[in-house]
Chains A and B, each alone.
Chain A
Amino acid sequence: MYPSRFAYEAPTSIDEAIALLDAGGGEAKVLSGGQSLIPMLKLRFASPATIVDINNIPDLDYHRVDAEGNLHIGALCRHVDLEQSTTLGDTHPTLAAAAELVADPIVRSRGTFVGSVCHADPQGDWAATMVAQGGYIVAQGPNGRREIDIREFVLGPFVTALAYNEMAVEAVIPGAKGTPRGSYLKLERRVGDFATASVAVSLDMDGDVVRRAGCALAGVGGRTIDANDAISCLEGKTLTDDSIDQASDAVAAVAEPRTDHRGSDAYKRHIVQTFVKRILTNLARSEQKAA
């Protein structure tokens, strides 16, 4: 309940923050939403020497779609900002579906998208949506900015490719070239529970043909599972019972679930398959309605 002592800095610019991380020599930790870090401090699972609070850095709380349709999410954009967006469902439906399922409503008012991805929890919802859609994290360090593809960003549970003196300033998720479709399903026993299994599906449609399909899983392995290759069997096809079955089987096969008190590995794999099928079937139905 009571964190151990740490030094605290509240920089007002990104450069200042970077300098502090650099000086910290790996013992400094970025605090953004704090909804993952502070619980760890309280249980003393983390005891950094310095906390670098970035909440006072201006102009980081945005989310906007650029001229090419790419979504830019600033480091201080809160989950609730995405949940309450009236346009996200049109441009990035997979993220829109996930937005209301992250943690609980109160945590969502403080926690950040970028912070959540950087926390790299294998259960993390946002990382799964990014891996399914592609995209990158913009990291800034003493030597300037670099873009880290999301598939190279998460290295393992709670470990990312960020150097100790780098800060993630933005996440960029590409838009669809055609019509964006997608969804996110999560089996949780109650709001705020860790997922038994979650599935993010993102489709880029050319009429009723799948131009690009992306998929990622959370909660069914030691890290976010990249199922993009598995679901790519949908590409160039329409959504039919056969193509949907093929895709859901392929995705289920790449899950790496472990048996625990939420269920057996077979059960979790079955849920993955079920969710992929449900997402795709619902999308197919709404396609038909639209047509």
Chain B
Amino acid sequence: MTSLYDEVQTPTEGVPTRRITVVVNGEKRTVDVEPRLLLAHLLRQGLQLTGTHVGCDTTSCGACTVLYDGRPVKSCTMLAVQADGHEVETVEGMASASELHPVQEGFKQEHGLQCGYCTPGMMLTSKALLERNPNPTEDEVRWALSGNLCRCTGYQNIVKSVLWAAEKMRAQQGEDA
């Protein structure tokens, strides 16, 4: 039994697992996993956080992007065991209890999604970008997102969504300052 695929709880004999503790969306989660389990599968099957999506098998599409210690990584190209002692943020962690993150709002306002499959990855990469560069140009946004593929939107509205969010975040900073 590889790990946390639900329902069938018959552990395979003699398969070593490793106990890891990962802080996921601010919450400590301790699980036993096989070393070969991909981080994306830990999140999706193990922790039922299905907002992170798998879109390819060659580390090309970025649909599985999460923030790992604040940096965007492709969770399909990391082993779950590597996240032991680290922090992972998924799309489910973007909104606070009372409100959406400006990036999420921006994507809705500016029609930055259609089928929604690439969206969690896009938004998390955008969030990381804006934390590092609060006032990006259109080119900088496109460059930062060039590891996240989208088939539906043609990217133009995604760029607008990110710039919308950037403006809102700058305004909020201004208020807090």
Contacts and interface: CB of A to CB of B under 8 A. Distances in A.
A–B contact (CB under 8 angstroms) = yes
Nearest to B57: A1
B23 interface: no
A51 interface: yes
A110 B73 contact: yes
Interface stretch (A36-44, A143-151, A263-271, A280-288): A36-44
B77 A110 contact: yes
Contacts of B68: 110
Contacts of B100: none
A106 B72 contact: yes
Contacts of A107: 59, 74, 77, 147
B37 to A, nearest CB: 9
Nearest to A3: B36
Given A7-B16, A106-B74, A109-B73, A39 B81 contact: no
A109 B66 CA distance: 12
A38 B79 contact: yes
A7 B35 contact: yes
B36 A106 contact: no
Secondary structure at the A interface, as helix, strand, loop or mixed, is: loop
- How big is the A interface, by class? 20 to 34
A241 interface: no
A178 interface: no
B9 interface: no
A35 B36 contact: no
Nearest to A100: B143
Interface in B69-104: 71-74, 76-79, 81-82, 84
B15 A106 contact: no
A80 interface: yes
Nearest to A103: B147
Interface in A1-34: 1-8, 10, 31, 34
Contact of B77 (A34, A80, A191): A34
B77 A5 contact: no
A80 B76 CA distance: 19
B78 A8 contact: no
A245 interface: no
Given A7-B35, A106-B72, A34 B57 contact: no
Nearest to B143: A105
B148 interface: yes
A220 to B, nearest CB: 23
A246 interface: no
A38 B148 CA distance: 19
Contacts of B15: 5
A160 interface: no
B82 A34 contact: yes
B74 A192 contact: no
B143 A192 contact: no
A41 B83 CA distance: 18
Contacts of B145: 105
Given A35-B77, A110-B78, A42 B146 contact: no
A4 B76 CA distance: 15
B105 interface: no
Contacts of B57: 1, 42-43
23 contacts: A1-B57, A5-B34, A5-B36, A8-B18, A8-B35, A8-B81, A31-B82, A34-B77, A34-B79, A34-B82, A38-B79, A39-B77, A42-B57, A42-B77, A43-B57, A80-B71, A106-B65, A106-B74, A106-B147, A107-B77, A107-B147, A110-B73, A192-B147
Question: Top 10 closest A-B pairs, CB basis?
Answer: A8-B35, A104-B147, A106-B147, A191-B146, A109-B71, A3-B36, A105-B147, A38-B77, A39-B59, A106-B72
Interface of B: 15-16, 18, 34-36, 38, 54, 57-60, 62, 65, 68, 71-74, 76-79, 81-82, 84, 125, 143-148
